[in-house]
Amino acid sequence: MKTFASQIYQAVQVGRLSQPFNASMVRNACPGWADRTYNTFLGKHAVGNGKESELFEKVSRGFYKLPVRNLGQAEMRKFWGKVKWEGNLNEMRSN
C-alpha cells in the first residue's frame, strides 16, 4: 500500500489530483487499484485514526488532503517512499 500512497502524493504534486480529494477523484488520478482500496484507504490512513499510519488529513466527510508537516525533503522521501520528486516542497506546503 506504500506504493498507492506514493501515487496519491505524486498525483497531487504534479497537478493530476487537486486538494481536497475524495475516493472518486483518487480513482481517476491513480487508476488500477481494487474498488475497495479507493473506498477504504483514505479514511483508514487519516490523521487521528489511532491505528494506522496517518497519511491524510480529513477535511470534511469523504474529503482529504495531504498533511502539512515541517519535514525536509529527506524526511518526506522516507515518509512517502520512493517518489520521483519534482518541484519545490515549499510550494506544496503553501497549498
Q: What is the pLDDT of residues 47-77, one digit of tens each?
A: 888 776 888 999 999 999 998 764 455 555 5
* Residues spanned by the domain of 15: 2-84
User: What is the predicted pLDDT for the residue at 70?
Assistant: 45
pTM beyond cutoff 0.75: no
* Domain count of the fold of the chain: 1
Structural domain includes residue 61: yes
Domain assignment present for residue 51? The answer is yes
**Which cell is 41 given?**
484507504
Q: Does residue 94 carry a pLDDT above 60?
A: no
Phi first, then psi, for residue 66 (nearest 5°) are -70, 140
pLDDT value of residue 80: 57
> Three-state DSSP class for 32?
coil
